[in-house]
Chain A
Amino acid sequence: MLQPIRVRDEPNQEVVIAGQVVFPRMRKNRSIMSKRKAKYAHLPIGESITQVQSMLRERLCNQRLPDKPEGTEAQHKHLLELLRRTAIHGESNSVLIVGPRGAGKTMLLKCVLRDLLEDKEAQKSLLQVHLNGLLQTDDRIALKEITRQLHLENVVGDKVFGSFAENLAFLLEALKKGDRSSSRPVLFILDEFDLFAHHKNQTLLYNLLDVSQSAQAPIAVVGITCRLDVLELLEKRVKSRFSHRQIHLLSSLTFTQYLQRVQSQLSLPQDFPDVKFAQDWNDSIKTLCEDKSAEEALRRHFNSSKDFRSLHILLMLCLSRVTVAKPVIKPADLLEASRLCFVDAKANMLHGLSILELCLIIAMKHLNDVYEGEPFNLQMVHNEFKKFLQRKSNSMYNFEQPVIMKAFEHLQQLELIRPVDGSAAKTQKEYQLMRLMLDHSQIMEALQKYPLCPTDVKQWAMSAFG
């Protein structure tokens, strides 16, 4: 672990006490002052960097919520109002939050819940049930999970219910407390809502929405989904019980707003322990966003996807390059991270093939050119390769058929070629028809970067036919 820098104990110097530096003028009242945070606290650089990393990593991994919603104020207000009506006034509601992946739906919901629970009354009475379509793949599992989250396992005990509806009604009945005539409001959050629509008969959805319509108990059903056509998936009886209220998070950012978002994601908050360091950091982020080459890289990212998640991946790669030796994010970091994000994976894999395998790929490319994309088999590829070898004087690559077969199978394992759907079982391996899953330009680009590529192989690749 990095040791805090020990400075000599001179009257004019700063003194380190357990990682927190106290100014000399406060030394007289050290016993009192060391407990209070100093006004102009200044941490050693290693500590600051660690703090920055911790804080920003939490933010980029979605463990830390933003203080106020960015760009989604209207949706935030709408949802908060809706949930407040359920929590405080006992009104039943259902709503769907719809948006593409990484748009910030879960973040929105968490912010709204945090603001909602600031209200004392809501905090006292509101119950929450979080279900996820990936985990609760069955209505039975979902019901068990609801029972568990409402802490009603003991109440249910070993009872056997006739139907889902009975079970749910029993649970909601059990939530009625003492003298209150109405039960506590329950908030059902259904993540990956579209997966619940694939359950048998959509029982869970039907019953939850039925309860929300029939005023048995005040519940709010909030569904989160990435499919814009989610309503088409619902059965007619389920759809009719749904309130058709949808909150859309279709990001319509401009590039300037995107740059602002980058800046706000990387900036340090006001309550950072080392104020001066935070100030310097925020200034450097501002300079970074104004730099021309960085702006170009960010524009490229903006043009391909505007969502939070791809931005977080980019910023995570930049952040990982911040060290004590280089305590700022430079434009070069951003460019390098951008390059890592946009690299072509298949071209990378082509770089690692042996020369024989590369020659086979070039032979396949020629076959595709001549026969306009019709599928080929190993015999045809071998034949094409032999035509190339005949032209060369030395037969360095004159390998036996089984060796070529092994190279071909390796390419199949890497899924660079795939068998055409059909009778795979009855045909011999050499005659099974395959397709090449690579593009013309990918092969040519990979050839340029291929290490120690023999010139005649390159020329063969460039030549138009054969």
Chain B
Amino acid sequence: MTSVLQHPGYDEEKLRRVTEQTPCREAQTGLLLSLMGQPQQYSYPSIFVYGHRASGKSHVMQVLLKELELPHATISCVECVSNALLFEKMLLSLFGCEAASLLPRTPSLSDFVRVYRHQCVDSPATQTRYIVMEKAELLRDADVNLLPALLRLQELVDDNLTVILLSEITWDKFRPNTGCYEPLVLHFPDYSKGDLQQILSRDSHPSYSADFYSSYINILLGVFYSVCRDLRELHHLAALNFSKFCEPLAEGKVKESDTHKLWRNIEPHLKKAMQTVYLREVSSLQWEQMQQMEEKEAGALKGLSAHTHVELPYYSKFLLIAAYLASYNPARTDKRFFLKHHGKIKKTNFLKKNEKTSNHLLGPKPFPLDRLLAVFYSVVDSRVAPSASIFSQISSLVTLQLLTQVSHDDQLDAPKYKCAVSLDFISAISRTVNFDIVKYLYDFLDPDTAASQEEWVNRGYVSRVRDHPSR
């Protein structure tokens, strides 16, 4: 499987070390090496490498440049936000600090090229110099002339220099308006499932056998592979959950070869990890602590989203419910829901044809303050005076970002709002005040979707309550 890298310009021992450190990437390393050629030969002025995250682009470049001891400068465009940082880093890596100090305070590209040429006169290039720019998609947002200049830097400084751009966005989205010096575009393919298995199994724990670890990786990939193929994420998840996997072994309940029991132990745990640690709802530290506690003590692990169930005052809850109803019901249906003696809503043919999607798919609609108060008074079950405390609660809901203000701050007499909470959230809140919100939602009213109301009950969003007592 692993072929030996060979190139006349480079030492065989060094190439062997390169192959060791870049598993499953032999074809790409070989291609890069052949394009680089021997150290004293020219290489194409700019090379653009694209591929998914964690597909080994930076890693292969770094390993190649370090092991073969080629003069290079590695720059992350996330760090070097300004031109000054960028040029200073380049000169520092290629020529040393004296060269970097020759740059003026706010260097322009012209200054950089001038200093570089000056340095070249003192130390001409015997080997190709490489400049590697990671996260190159951020260069599009920098100065307009920076990207085209970097692509033809070899010509501008008249030196044996190659610029390599690494990115996860394709080249088509980089091209400037009037064109530029087109780079040589290379693709780093993603790792296959077998490759991921091979790479992740390399970090086996010393006290357990390699087979044991690779069976663990197999189980992990079985759960996560259909969702995520990012090597870094899988690596993180593997490291976090291994101790739980070994728990029954440590307790002496199972043997190493008892794969079925081990699987039964770890699989629900991994599924829980998908909902918490994978989504970064829970920090890795919290996760590890939870694993150490006994199962009965642990209880439900509260993610970040759970903390948004802030305890709201009673009327605020009803204001929020009213806001939700106002956002997701069309205005003409208010009569049917909130009046005692209402008629049926007749849907004309026109309306039926144009209602393609339910309001829950399109998002909340803005509503004026008057409508909110009207719905609020019909929804709340006790008599409430329109005092300042009610209005201030509306403002605090906006501050909590449960409502968003759509109108401009200047319009004091007719402010408009939108409800910014999800159905799950509002169902949980309405459950705490014994209010059946589903009955009041237009999208779940249509007899065609009577089945969907059953579905909401089955999902446990609402429980069957008695009908809302009429006032």
- Whether A313 touches B182, Cβ cut-off 8 Å, given contacts A356-B227, A379-B363, A383-B361, is yes
CB <8 Å contact, A54 and B40: yes
User: Chain B interface mostly helix, strand, loop or mixed?
Assistant: loop
Q: List residues 215-243 of chain B with CB under 8 A from any CB of chain A.
A: 225-229
A351–B8 alpha-carbon span in the complex (Å) = 34
CB <8 Å contact, B184 and A313: yes
Q: List residues 395-443 of chain B with CB under 8 A from any CB of chain A.
A: 404, 406, 418, 420, 422
Q: In the assembled complex, how far is the CB of residue A364 from the closest CB belonging to chain B, in whole angstroms? A: 14
B44 partner residues in chain A, CB cutoff 8 A? 60-61, 312-313, 316
Question: Residue B187 contacts which of A320, A321, A348 (CB distance < 8 angstroms)?
Answer: A348
CB <8 Å contact, B275 and A402: yes
> Looking at B31, B43, B227, which has the most chain A CB atoms within 10 Å of its CB?
B227
A61–B178 alpha-carbon span in the complex (Å) = 22
> Looking at A323, A379, A407, which has the most chain B CB atoms within 10 Å of its CB?
A379
B299 at the binding interface (Cβ < 8 Å): no
A145 at the binding interface (Cβ < 8 Å): yes
Closest to B274 in A: A403
B126 at the binding interface (Cβ < 8 Å): no
Q: In the assembled complex, how far is the CB of residue A318 from the closest CB belonging to chain B, in whole angstroms? A: 11
Question: Residue A349 contacts which of B9, B52, B149, B356 (CB distance < 8 angstroms)?
Answer: B52
CB <8 Å contact, B279 and A402: yes
A243 at the binding interface (Cβ < 8 Å): no
A21 partner residues in chain B, CB cutoff 8 A? none
- Whether A380 touches B42, Cβ cut-off 8 Å, given contacts A348-B187, A428-B420, is no
- The digit string for A89-102, where 1 denotes a CB below 8 A from any CB of B, is 00000000000111
Please list the 5 inter-chain residue pairs (A to B) with the smallest Cβ-Cβ separation, ordered nearest first. A352-B190, A431-B363, A345-B170, A320-B34, A355-B226
CB <8 Å contact, A61 and B185: no
CB <8 Å contact, B184 and A62: no
Q: List residues 345-381 of chain B with CB under 8 A from any CB of chain A.
A: 356-357, 360-364
CB <8 Å contact, B182 and A310: yes
A58 at the binding interface (Cβ < 8 Å): yes
Closest to B154 in A: A61
Question: Residue A137 contacts which of B108, B154, B362, B420 (CB distance < 8 angstroms)?
Answer: B108
CB <8 Å contact, A1 and B8: yes
A57 at the binding interface (Cβ < 8 Å): yes
- The digit string for A332-349, where 1 denotes a CB below 8 A from any CB of B, is 000000001001011011
CB <8 Å contact, B227 and A379: no
B181 at the binding interface (Cβ < 8 Å): yes
Between-chain CB contacts (< 8 Å), 7 pairs: A50-B38, A54-B40, A101-B182, A377-B362, A379-B360, A397-B226, A452-B193
Question: Residue A320 contacts which of B37, B108, B178, B363 (CB distance < 8 angstroms)?
Answer: B37
A316–B47 alpha-carbon span in the complex (Å) = 12
A132 at the binding interface (Cβ < 8 Å): yes
Q: List residues 367-414 of chain A with CB under 8 A from any CB of chain B.
A: 371, 377, 379-380, 383, 396-397, 399-400, 402-403, 406-407, 413-414
Question: Residue A61 contacts which of B9, B42, B50, B190 (CB distance < 8 angstroms)?
Answer: B42
Question: Residue B182 contacts which of A50, A60, A309 (CB distance < 8 angstroms)?
Answer: A309
Q: List residues 308-355 of chain B with CB under 8 A from any CB of chain A.
A: none
Q: In the complex, how many residues of chain B place their beta carbon closer than 8 angstroms to a beta carbon of chain A?
A: 71
Q: In the assembled complex, how far is the CB of residue B458 from the closest CB belonging to chain A, in whole angstroms? A: 14
Q: In the complex, how many residues of chain A place their beta carbon closer than 8 angstroms to a beta carbon of chain B?
A: 76
CB <8 Å contact, A403 and B155: no
A346–B169 alpha-carbon span in the complex (Å) = 9
A406–B181 alpha-carbon span in the complex (Å) = 36
B254 at the binding interface (Cβ < 8 Å): no
- Whether A134 touches B145, Cβ cut-off 8 Å, given contacts A2-B8, A426-B406, is yes
Q: In the assembled complex, how far is the CB of residue A336 from the closest CB belonging to chain B, in whole angstroms? A: 10
CB <8 Å contact, B363 and A377: yes
B145 partner residues in chain A, CB cutoff 8 A? 133-135, 137, 195
B189 at the binding interface (Cβ < 8 Å): yes
- The digit string for B180-208, where 1 denotes a CB below 8 A from any CB of A, is 11101111011011000000000000000
A430 at the binding interface (Cβ < 8 Å): yes
A63 partner residues in chain B, CB cutoff 8 A? 42
- Whether A354 touches B43, Cβ cut-off 8 Å, given contacts A345-B172, A403-B278, A431-B364, is no
B247 at the binding interface (Cβ < 8 Å): no
Closest to B151 in A: A134
Q: List residues 19-57 of chain B with CB under 8 A from any CB of chain A.
A: 31, 34-35, 37-38, 40-45, 50-52, 55
Q: List residues 425-454 of chain A with CB under 8 A from any CB of chain B.
A: 426-428, 430-431, 451-452
A291–B285 alpha-carbon span in the complex (Å) = 64
Q: List residues 114-148 of chain A with CB under 8 A from any CB of chain B.
A: 132-138, 141, 145, 148
A449–B398 alpha-carbon span in the complex (Å) = 49
- The digit string for B289-300, where 1 denotes a CB below 8 A from any CB of A, is 000000000000
Question: Residue B35 contacts which of A138, A316, A352 (CB distance < 8 angstroms)?
Answer: A316
- Whether A345 touches B187, Cβ cut-off 8 Å, given contacts A324-B8, A431-B364, is yes
CB <8 Å contact, A102 and B41: no
A194 at the binding interface (Cβ < 8 Å): yes
B94 at the binding interface (Cβ < 8 Å): no
Closest to B357 in A: A380
CB <8 Å contact, A135 and B42: no
- Whether A380 touches B275, Cβ cut-off 8 Å, given contacts A54-B41, A62-B155, A135-B113, is no
B305 at the binding interface (Cβ < 8 Å): yes
B173 at the binding interface (Cβ < 8 Å): yes
A106 partner residues in chain B, CB cutoff 8 A? 155
- Whether A377 touches B361, Cβ cut-off 8 Å, given contacts A317-B184, A320-B34, A402-B275, is yes
A88 at the binding interface (Cβ < 8 Å): no
- The digit string for A221-258, where 1 denotes a CB below 8 A from any CB of B, is 00000110000000000000000000000000000000
B228 partner residues in chain A, CB cutoff 8 A? 354
A279 at the binding interface (Cβ < 8 Å): no
CB <8 Å contact, A58 and B42: yes
CB <8 Å contact, A352 and B278: no
A406–B224 alpha-carbon span in the complex (Å) = 13
Q: In the assembled complex, how far is the CB of residue B79 from the closest CB belonging to chain A, in whole angstroms? A: 19
Question: Residue A135 contacts which of B109, B187, B364 (CB distance < 8 angstroms)?
Answer: B109
A415 at the binding interface (Cβ < 8 Å): yes
- Whether A403 touches B275, Cβ cut-off 8 Å, given contacts A316-B184, A343-B187, is yes
A2–B38 alpha-carbon span in the complex (Å) = 11
- Whether A345 touches B171, Cβ cut-off 8 Å, given contacts A61-B44, A132-B156, is yes
A323–B9 alpha-carbon span in the complex (Å) = 11
CB <8 Å contact, B41 and A53: yes
CB <8 Å contact, B108 and A399: no
A54–B9 alpha-carbon span in the complex (Å) = 12
> Looking at B31, B52, B148, B180, which has the most chain A CB atoms within 10 Å of its CB?
B52
A46 at the binding interface (Cβ < 8 Å): yes
CB <8 Å contact, B182 and A321: no
A76–B52 alpha-carbon span in the complex (Å) = 46
Q: In the assembled complex, how far is the CB of residue B45 from the closest CB belonging to chain A, in whole angstroms? A: 6
CB <8 Å contact, B52 and A53: no
B357 partner residues in chain A, CB cutoff 8 A? 380
A415–B279 alpha-carbon span in the complex (Å) = 21
Closest to B110 in A: A135
Q: In the assembled complex, how far is the CB of residue A35 from the closest CB belonging to chain B, in whole angstroms? A: 25
A54 partner residues in chain B, CB cutoff 8 A? 38, 40-42
CB <8 Å contact, A396 and B8: no
CB <8 Å contact, B182 and A1: no
Q: In the assembled complex, how far is the CB of residue B83 from the closest CB belonging to chain A, in whole angstroms? A: 11
Known A-B contacts: A1-B8, A54-B42, A133-B145. Give 17 more (CB < 8 A). A54-B40, A61-B43, A101-B180, A313-B182, A345-B187, A352-B229, A354-B226, A354-B229, A356-B226, A377-B361, A399-B274, A403-B227, A414-B52, A426-B404, A426-B418, A430-B422, A431-B363
